[in-house]
Amino acid sequence: MRLLDLFGCAGGAARGYWLAGFDVVSVDIEPHNHWGELLVMDWETALDTLDLTDFDAVHASPPCQGYTALAAVHGNEWPKLIEPVRERLDAIGLPYVIENVQGAPIRRDLVLCGEMFGLGVLRHRYFELGGWAMFQPEHVEHRGRVGGWRHGQRFDGPYFAVYGEGGGKGSVDEWQRAMGIDWTSDRRELAEAIPPAYTRLIGEGLRSFIGVPETAVSGREDER
């Protein structure tokens, strides 16, 4: 199985899909400390020039900054690409996944949280599934607060806020462990990444939809 990963950044999504059995080709406009294969180009060029018949599915994580609450308050120039990406992927006809944050204009076909996987982040993310479907895991109760400073008060909790600087948000090592990512120590890359556990689960659902048994893709746990 082969998957095209658009807006690949550091490769958190790519790693999860790989663990689920996919060979992944990622695309991003910037070079990154990426897990796996990364082609430096924009998403439209990738869809226009790559042979899409070589792929079984597509994942896309368009920039989320333009859909955040801070953008609504302060404004920014981040592109809002979900609609054009969806239009192109619908026309291609492969099963696809679009990932983004609360407030983004995507269907919430799947909502994932770090607590579902025993991670040290909450990091709620929303996934739109195009042309296929899978089960929604139970959104289990959180074990406490996200640690750090809020409005001049320090809170303790089992989760890290993996974004920004200061505020008691944790060290790079703590962020890496919390996210399940060990191949980059860049804070920006970690802050923008998807925990691989999320896309491993999605990839397993996608593999089932495509019809490839688990026994055909076992043995990747200890490989890099």
Identify whether 74 is part of a domain.
yes
Identify whether 174 is part of a domain.
no
Identify whether 154 is part of a domain.
no
CA 13, distance to chain mean position in Å, is: 5
Identify whether 164 is part of a domain.
no
Tokens standing for 12?
């958190």
Tracing tokens 């599934």 back to the chain, one arrives at 129
By residue range, what is the domain housing residue 85?
2-134+191-217
pLDDT above 60 for 223: no
Greater model confidence, 216 or 87? 87
Identify whether 34 is part of a domain.
yes
Residue 197: give its domain's CATH number: 3.40.50.150
- Please write down the long-range contacts of 157-161, taking CB distance under 8 Å and 24 or more positions apart: 158/120, 159/114, 159/115, 159/120, 159/121, 159/122, 160/120, 160/121
What is the Cα–Cα distance from 108 to 145, expressed in whole angstroms?
Answer: 24
Identify whether 146 is part of a domain.
no
In which order are the strands placed within the sheet that holds 2-6?
Answer: 37-40, 23-28, 2-6, 57-60, 96-100, 125-130, 110-112
Determine what percent of the chain is predicted with pLDDT higher than 90.
65
* Span of 35-49, 51-65, 145-159 with lowest mean pLDDT: 145-159
Mean pLDDT of the 73-81 span: 69
What is the Cα–Cα distance from 5 to 37, expressed in whole angstroms?
Answer: 10
pLDDT above 70 for 9: yes
* Span of 65-79, 114-128, 158-172 with lowest mean pLDDT: 65-79
Identify whether 177 is part of a domain.
no
pLDDT above 80 for 151: no
166 pLDDT band, cuts 50/70/90, is low
With 0.85 as the threshold, say if the pTM is over it. Answer: yes
* Residue 67: half-sphere exposure toward Cβ, Cα within 13 Å: 18
Mean pLDDT of the 126-145 span: 93
Identify whether 169 is part of a domain.
no
What is the Cα–Cα distance from 93 to 193, expressed in whole angstroms?
Answer: 26
Looking at the structure of the chain, the number of domains it has is 1
69 pLDDT band, cuts 50/70/90, is low
Q: Please tell me whether residue 99 adopts helix, strand or coil conformation.
A: strand
Q: Are 8 and 33 in contact (CB under 8 A)?
A: no
224 pLDDT band, cuts 50/70/90, is very low
Question: Measuring CA to CA, which residue among 44, 138, 34, 137 is closest to residue 92?
Answer: 44
What pLDDT is recorded for position 11?
A: 95
Residues in Cβ contact with 81 at an 8 Å cutoff, skipping those fewer than 6 apart: 43, 62, 63
